[in-house]
Amino acid sequence: MQLFGQILVNGILLGGLYGLMGLGMGLVWGVLKIVNLAHGALIMLGGYALYFLYTKAGVDPFLGLPLAMLAMFVLGYLLQTLLLNLIVRSAQLNTLLLTFGLDVVFVYLAQLLFTADFRTINPPYAGKNVSLSGVTVPYAQLGAFGVAVLLAALLYLVLDKTRTGRAVRATAQNLVAARLYGVNPKRIYAITFGTGAALAGAAGGLYGIVSQITPYIGVTLTAKSFVIAILGGLDKPLGVIGGGLVLGIAEAMAALYLDPTYTDIISFGLLVLVLVARPAQLLGRA
């Protein structure tokens, strides 16, 4: 039972991080109608940004996170302004292919610049943990989970309360109507994609603290982010965190009761299951 509790906690802590990954994917998908296949690559880049902030500049990972997010926001904003806005109205095939191309570019740039070595962000408190009635909770994992939930809540507030957030939601619902009310879609698209990239960057940084970064982590994370975004619902940031928890717990349980090599297979099985189980009903749209 204690083992079960431990696995459950591990799953929840990992799931919060997964939720953060799904958040950026879902935001971009919902507003721009682009399924960003480079999302995992952006997560990977965010991980490297935080890694180098920590190892080269000595910034504490949790303090460096806003900086990494800012850098990723700028990257996302520029990508959308200079590139994605050119094809945002074309057939879905083209947006899929373009983001796929971007994914390839980022992965091999990272391989050339950073090498394929495994990297871990290893702050001094990485090994420390707190014990709650026999269940061990590492501080780093707990911090990552807290940041993920905080960012989801923040995104919810920004979308709900601020003028820009309302403009983003209006654009998602009806581009033409939003335009008539004076929303500049180019700017909103750029801000949305930038925010998506920043969230991916945050997820990547936290992933680097609790796990390992290589240039190749992106593809599976893209697929997982997609599943989580569907599970949670595209326009509900807190729901997406819930979707992340489902996947995190499922993976942790699979690793315990089957075999650690099956975790990716389980999450792929879940992916197919979610896709086949009528995403339209889960989403209430599509």
Partner 1 sequence: MNRFRWLALPIAAAALAVVPWVTSDTIVQYGINALLVATLAQAWNIIGGFSGYPSFGNSVFYGLGTYGTAIAMAQLHWSFGSGLVLGAVLGVACALLFGIPILRLRGPYFAIATLGLAAVMSAIVATVEIAGKNIGLILPLFRGETLFYELSLILLVAATATVAWIARSRFGVGLVAIREDEDAAQVMGINTTMYKVAALTVAALFSALAGGIHAYWITFIDPASAFDPSLNVRMVIMTLFGGPGTVLGPVLGAFVLSAVSEVLASQATGVASLFYGFVIVAAVVFMPKGLLDLVQGFRESGWRYFIDNVRRYRI
Q: 201 with 214: CB under 8 angstroms? A: no
The reply to whether 220 sits near partner 1 by the rule CB under 8 A is: yes
Among 22, 26, 43, 103, binds partner 1 (CB under 8 A): 103
The reply to whether 264 sits near partner 1 by the rule CB under 8 A is: yes
Residues 154-193 that bind partner 1 (CB under 8 A): 185-186, 189
The reply to whether 144 sits near partner 1 by the rule CB under 8 A is: no
Closest CA to 234 of 199, 187, 286: 286
Residue number, 150 or 272, with CB nearest to partner 1: 272
Site mask, partner 1, residues 189-208, x = CB under 8 A? x-------------------
Residues 83-102 that bind partner 1 (CB under 8 A): 83, 85-94, 96-98, 100-102
The reply to whether 37 sits near partner 1 by the rule CB under 8 A is: yes
Residues 6+ apart with CB under 8 A from 181: 170
- Give 131's DSSP letter: E
Among 74, 104, 130, 157, binds partner 1 (CB under 8 A): 104
Residues 6+ apart with CB under 8 A from 136: 6, 129, 130
Least spacing, CB of residue 121 vs partner 1, in Å: 24
Q: Can you say how many angstroms the Cα of residue 101 is from the centroid of all Cα atoms in its chain? A: 19
Least spacing, CB of residue 281 vs partner 1, in Å: 12
Among 59, 78, 126, 219, binds partner 1 (CB under 8 A): 219
Compute the distance between CA of residue 270 and CA of residue 173 in angstroms, rounded to an integer: 29
Closest CA to 28 of 182, 234, 236: 234
Q: 213 with 48: CB under 8 angstroms? A: yes
Closest CA to 151 of 198, 208, 221, 212: 198
User: Which residues of the shown chain bind partner 1 in the complex (CB under 8 A)?
Assistant: 29, 35, 37, 83, 85-94, 96-98, 100-109, 111-112, 185-186, 189, 219-220, 222-223, 226-227, 261, 264-265, 268, 271-272, 275-276, 279, 286
